[in-house]
Structure 1
Amino acid sequence: MSDRTALVLGATGGVGGAIAATLASRGWTVRGLARDPGKASAGWPSHRRPIDWVGGDAMSRGDVVKAAQGAAAIVHAVNPPGYRNWETLVLPMIDNSIAAARAAGGARIVLPGTIYNFDPATTPVIDAQSPQRPRTRKGRVRVELEQRMEDAATSGVPGLVVRAGDFFGADARSSWFGQVMAKSDGPLRRIIDPVRPGIGHAWAYLPDLAEAITQLMEMEDRLLPFERVQFAGFWDGNGTAMPAAIRGVVGRPDLPVRRFPWWIVSLLSPFGGFPREAAEIEPHWRFPVQLDNQRLVALLGEEPRTPIDVALRATLGMKAE
């Protein structure tokens, strides 16, 4: 097993790609699992250090085991294609990663975690000991996923969960920020704010999160067999700081801010699709939930933190005038 070799599942996605790129920039040997390695390689941004693409499917245990040979870590940042059949595919995929980590001699599984494991109405601050009482189907699956990782850690497969708020960043393609809040193919003309008025919300700048995860992976000797750490990110205490920062970056103090139409989502949710998925997580925008990063800071010394205006310029670079 190499101390500086990592297999990244989901490297073609926003989160997995950011972690893979950061690992490569810090001298790791990075393998990305992809069903079409040629396409994945062609789509890899030219400004990033190249990684090694290997053919395979995260749903195939044999593929994952083969790709993980000699790896010290498996970054599990994968989701079912198009999020279809999510509830039935997520757990088999983590089981495959656990089997591959075990076959590799005890590689650490690294999971970018979510806040959906928790009831936002009763958990205003999340730390490693916060009770996981999810309100959604996805949340219940995520709880079971983490439990399987924790169980595996007792038998030689260490795990690391790094939990963060909603992503933003140039590479955070499948995010509420990029797809709803600041969606535009040209100059930004409006902000569609999903945050309830007066409610705080936690945001995670993807390059900072990837840097934190990479640094944690590089201190294996200090990590517990199973670690849950929280990435605090950018905390908007009353839901107005993020829109104000966006206005400042684009130089438009009068940029309109519209409220996301949650009432329409609720009305359409019985018909399935996006409205149903969005309605499930609506409470996470209605209640403030902060992430306690004390353990992360104890390990790293400080949390990677890009100034919000710099982070937003990078995120909105193709949209801002």
Structure 2
Amino acid sequence: MTLTRTALILGATGGAGYETARALRARGWQIRAMHRRPDAVSCLMPEADWVEGDAMKARDVLMAATNADLIVHAVNPPGYRNWGKLVLPMIDNTIAAAQASGARIVLPGTVYNYGPDAFPLLRETSAQNPVTRKGAIRVELEARLRRAAEAGVSVLIVRAGDFFGPNTGNSWLAQGMVKPGQPVRAVTHPGKPGVGHAWAYLPDFAETVARLVEKEADLAAFESFHFNGHWLEDGRELAERVRIVAGVPDAPIKRFPWVLLRLLKPFVPLFREMAEMQYLWKVPVRLDNMKLVERLGSEPHTPMDEALRMTLEGIKCLEPSVLRSQIRRVTSAA
């Protein structure tokens, strides 16, 4: 297979960057991944061309983007440290690199941009009136991308709910609901009973991005699509499915310790950011994917139990052999 298109992945060791790189590679893209210590992480994606660089350094991003056709901006500050000081300078560097190379920028979007006035169904045209500091930063980030598009830079935003997947350590499922590296003995549910929640299985999300960029000729300079993913009318259903897939259907489902999180947030940056997003667990928030389906014909969708099986295997909550056995048992009982 001849590789003729190049995608620069910023954040290739994170869930969204890694899965998007894999989906693009499967379609013949040459993958270039930038990391501050490429020798330490290149084994994660040996087929990629790893280059040394820091997303906070404009020259590094500019050099890495040379002759790139696509820049996937999936980089985030590790552990949410210095979020307010790092996020916007990084997108500015990506915009400058895209201006120089002519590449389209791809951004995994979030629901943080929206406040209660936009709920429960989010469309691409919904007003972005965030109620959190993190949401305001995301709104400004996208505003800069829109201004860049008006100046000639091509932009694609694909927005989704909470990510989960086999290569997603920084997620609500892996950090707040189960304990990675340990058998599932209990599941913690952050939401209120009966409140719906949107989840995005990262391989499906990445496949969606790959299909969209394949239609470059049909994309406007600034495009935004919403990814529906797995919508659960009662968010507690995810916790229930985790128990079943893990083979422990009677494991307790615990309430999330929001009060403790708020007490500890002055000392733990991750807890501070998680606490700020509590409002998204109190009300149903769903993404309308009508525009996406009209463009692609359908949305990639892995069945929930299969997606959870792969996720639990990836975060080492179950051995692969055990997972396969449990899935067969669940399927037979259905």
With the length of structure 1 as denominator, give the TM-score of the two structures.
0.94
Distance 1:184 1:92 in 2: 32
Pairing 1:210–2:206 present: yes
Q: Which stretch of structure 1 is more off in the superposition, 66-75 or 77-86?
A: 77-86
Equivalent residue for 2:289, pick from 286, 293, 301 = 293
**Equivalent position of 1:91 in the other structure:** 88
Distance 1:11 1:180 in 2: 23
Secondary structure at 2:300 match in 1 = coil
Distance 2:276 2:12 in 1: 27
**Equivalent position of 1:35 in the other structure:** 36
**Equivalent position of 1:157 in the other structure:** 153
Deviation at 1:316, TM superposition (A): 1.1
Secondary structure at 1:316 match in 2 = helix
Deviation at 1:27, TM superposition (A): 1.0
CA contact under 8 A between 1:164 and 1:203: conserved in structure 2? yes
**Equivalent position of 2:239 in the other structure:** 243
**Equivalent position of 1:124 in the other structure:** 120
Distance 2:81 2:242 in 1: 33
Distance 1:121 1:150 in 2: 22
1:102-113 to structure 2, matched below 5 A, reads 102-104=99-101, 106-113=102-109
Deviation at 1:85, TM superposition (A): 1.4
Secondary structure at 2:240 match in 1 = helix
Q: Deviations over 1:235-258 (max 9, x none)?
A: 111123212221221222212100
Deviation at 1:271, TM superposition (A): 4.9
Specify every segment of 5 or more residues in structure 1 that has no aligned partner in the other structure, as ranges.
Answer: none
Q: Deviations over 1:111-150 (max 9, x none)?
A: 0011000014642111110100111111101000000001
CA contact under 8 A between 1:3 and 1:72: conserved in structure 2? no
Deviation at 1:89, TM superposition (A): 1.3
**Equivalent position of 2:331 in the other structure:** none
Q: Deviations over 1:202-260 (max 9, x none)?
A: 00001100110111111111112111111100011112321222122122221210010
Amino acid at match of 1:295: K
Amino acid at match of 1:87: G
Deviation at 1:177, TM superposition (A): 0.3
Distance 2:270 2:77 in 1: 16
**Equivalent position of 2:50 in the other structure:** 53
Secondary structure at 2:88 match in 1 = helix
Q: 1:139 to 1:65 in 2, by over 3 A?
A: same
Distance 2:94 2:234 in 1: 39
Deviation at 1:313, TM superposition (A): 0.8
1:16-31 to structure 2, matched below 5 A, reads 16-31=17-32
Deviation at 1:196, TM superposition (A): 1.4
Q: Deviations over 1:189-211 (max 9, x none)?
A: 00011111111000000110011
Divergent runs of 4+, >6 A: none
Distance 2:128 2:182 in 1: 41
Q: 1:211 to 1:261 in 2, by over 3 A?
A: same
Amino acid at match of 2:288: D
Distance 1:181 1:82 in 2: 17
Q: Which stretch of structure 1 is more off in the superposition, 220-229 or 248-257?
A: 248-257
CA RMSD of aligned residues (A): 1.6
Amino acid at match of 1:56: G
CA contact under 8 A between 1:107 and 1:157: conserved in structure 2? yes
CA contact under 8 A between 1:5 and 1:73: conserved in structure 2? yes
